[in-house]
Amino acid sequence: MLYLIATPIGNLGDMTVRAIETLKSVDMIASEDTRTTSILLKHFEIRKPQISFHDHNERHAAERVIGMLKVGQSVAIVSDAGTPGISDPGFAIVRRAIEEDLPFTMVPGPAAFVMALVLSGLATHSFTFRGFPPRKGGPRRRFIGVDKNAPHTLIYYESVHRIGAFLDDALAVLGDRPAALASELTKKFESIDRGPLSALIERLPEKPKGEYVVVIAGSDGKPAPADDEADDTE
């Protein structure tokens, strides 16, 4: 059996009993970062061999995992935090398991975008999760613009290094919509800042920390700002 196991997004107390028991039962753990997973395993006194399974070797590692499954071994897939396959490695191995008609399942648990959405105070009945946007300005603005007329709440992940630029682009493309900025979720310095995009930009720390989840209200039926000519060199 192949198990995709969700792990805590910050607070180790969120690890489920089933996740711990499953990790103890498998033959191998495929980890996005073996160093990060080792901390988790040590905390819960789990001693299992690991292989590396990340964005840069996902296809190769998937074949290795498939080979193990074919000879009757059980493998667990874990990302650094949260649910494998959600803006983390996991999709390729799911596709290969389906192609090979091999059994797989999930051990559910935390996902940062779900927590951020609920805490945002914005509409939760209909939403679009967009993951990480492109790194450069022009492609990023076009990426945001795809959903500018969508009525659904929009959710994005962004790194500490680009959060300011992302918020600036979101304001330019979507207008000054209600939004929420979540960081350090489940950790000691968990933060949820709510308000118009312009206010979030003003209140963004000079040196932000951690990865961010940005939740933005959907279109309210008013015309979206006109697209500026995007500069692909940015």
Give DSSP secondary structure letters for 5-30.
Answer: E-B-SS-GGG--HHHHHHHHH-SEEE
The residues pairing with 156 across neighbouring beta strands, listed in sequence order, are 131, 214
- For 67, residues 6+ apart whose C-beta sits below 8 A from its C-beta are none
So what's the pLDDT on residue 110? 93
Q: What is the pLDDT averaged over residues 146-160? A: 96
- The DSSP secondary-structure symbol of 1 reads -
- Of the candidates 76, 81, 66, 86, the residue with the CA atom closest to the CA atom of residue 107: 76
Asked if pLDDT for residue 226 goes beyond 70, the answer is no
Asked if pLDDT for residue 126 goes beyond 90, the answer is yes
So what's the pLDDT on residue 227? 52
So what's the pLDDT on residue 56? 81
So what's the pLDDT on residue 122? 97
Q: For residue 59, what is the enclosing H or E element? A: helix 58-70
Read off the pLDDT band of 223 (50, 70, 90): low
Residue with tokens 């659904």: 152
Selected residue with higher pLDDT from 19 and 91? 19
So what's the pLDDT on residue 220? 79
Per-domain residue ranges of the chain: 2-107, 112-216
Lowest mean pLDDT among 4-8, 85-89, 151-155, 158-162: 85-89
Compute the distance between CA of residue 168 and CA of residue 225 in angstroms, rounded to an integer: 13
Read off the pLDDT band of 225 (50, 70, 90): low
- Of the candidates 67, 93, 66, 60, the residue with the CA atom closest to the CA atom of residue 79: 93
pLDDT digits (tens, 9 = 90+) for 71-92: 999 999 999 999 998 988 888 8
Read off the pLDDT band of 221 (50, 70, 90): low
pLDDT digits (tens, 9 = 90+) for 159-213: 999 999 999 999 999 999 999 999 999 999 999 999 999 999 999 998 888 889 9
So what's the pLDDT on residue 233? 46
- Look up the CATH number of domain 2-107: 3.40.1010.10
So what's the pLDDT on residue 209? 84
Read off the pLDDT band of 222 (50, 70, 90): low
- Look up the CATH number of domain 112-216: 3.30.950.10
